[in-house]
Amino acid sequence: MAPLTLTVAQYGTRPTLRETLDLLHTVTIDAAGTGTNLLVFPEAFLGGYPRGQTFGSIIGSRTSEGRDEYYAYWKNAVDLGDTHPEGLGTYTHPGDGTGLELEKIARETGVFLVVGLVEKVKGSGSLYCAVIYVDPKKGIVGKRRKVMPTAAERVIWSVGSPATLKATDISLASQPITMASVICWENYHPLIRAALYQQGVDLYIAPTADARPQWQSTVQHIAMEGRCVVLSCNQFIPPPEDENPAEEEEEGAPEDAYAKIKGTPGGSVIFGPLGECMAGPLWGEEGVLSVTFEEGEWERRIVGSRLDFDVGRGGHYGRADAFKLTVAGLMLGEEKLKEKKK
C-alpha cells in the first residue's frame, strides 16, 4: 500500500470555459508530478461563481439586460450529458465534451478529480451548482448537485435532488475510502451532514465560495464531528490592479473588502479527523495544499479518532436505536449495507 496524497487547488475561474479547462489540465499535470492521488477544485470552478452579479433581478422585477447576462452565464456552463430527471448520472450523450475531457485528464495523469462546476441540461434553461467525481480508471463515478443554493444563488441555480446526497466508495493508493462532497453553505445544514455521516464518510470534501474567517471554524468542527478528513477548497480571485482591498478592509474582516470588488482571498484548508489543521489555510494567492498519509496511516488515524466519538454508520455515538433519518430517494442504513455487498 503506497502513500496517499490529497490535494486542493486554489485557483480562480478564467474568462472562458476553455481557458479554465486548460488551467485545470496544467494544475493536474503538476499535481501528478508530486504524487497526488486526489485533486479538488473549488465550487463552480467550471462555469464560474457569479459573485456580485444581479442578473437584473429584484423582487417583482427583471430586466432584459439581466436576461442577456443570464444567457451569457448559461452559455459558459457545462453540459455533462446527464439526462436523468434528478441528475443522478444517466449520461446518454457526450454533452459539450467537458465530461469526456475530464475523464481523459484523469486517465492520463492517474489523478482522481473532484471538480466544482455549474451544470446545464440539454433542453433546459436551468442551471445547477454541482460537484463531479472522475476516477482515472472508471471515468465519472459520481456527482452531487447542491440541494439548497444560498440566498440570491437561488435566482440562477435550481435546487438539486436530495437523491444526490450519496456517498461514493473509491480506492486511492489501494486504500478503500468512502467520500462525499457538501457544497458551501450546505455544510451549515445539520441533516445534510448527518445523512452523509450515516453512510460512513471518512473523506469529506467541502468546495466553497466562503472566505470568511468563520468558515475555518465550520470545517474544523465538521472534521471533529464526523471524525473524517475534510478538504475545503475555495477560489482565489485577486482585485483589479487599480483597487487594493487592504486599503478598504476593516480589521479582522479581510473578506469584506474583497467582496466589494467581486474577488475572494481564498482560505483553502485541510483538517484531520480530530480537528487538527494539516495544511493551510492559504490566503491571498493561487496555489495548492497537500497532505500525505504514509502506508497504513489513513485507517489508523480515522479509526483511532473514533475511539471516543463515532456518529458514522453503526457508530456508538450515533444512537441508531433512538434516531432515524430518512432522505428522499436515498438508501441509508441496512439498504445501504446490502448495496455495498452486491
**So which residues are the catalytic ones?**
43
Residue 173 grid cell: 493508493
Q: What's phi and psi for 100, nearest 5 deg?
A: -65, -40
What gap in Å lies between CA 201 and CA 205, rounded to an integer? Answer: 10
- For β-strands 175-181 and 203-207, DSSP reports them as parallel
Residue 290 near residue 269 (C-beta atoms within 8 A): no
Q: How many residues does the chain have?
A: 342
DSSP string, 219-238: HHHHHHHHTSEEEEE---BP
Torsion of CA 198, 201, 205, 210, to 10 degrees: 30
Name residue 130's amino acid: A
What gap in Å lies between CA 153 and CA 55, rounded to an integer? Answer: 11
**Which H or E element spans position 268?**
strand 266-271
Query: Rounded to the nearest 5 degrees, what angle is found at the Cα of 5, between the Cα atoms of 227 and 279?
Result: 65
- Classify each residue of 262-296 as buried b or exposed e, where b means 16 or more C-beta atoms within 10 Å of its C-beta: ebbbbbbbbbbbebeebbbbbbeebebbbbbbeee
Residue with the three cell numbers 479582522: 252
Which DSSP state fits 292?
E
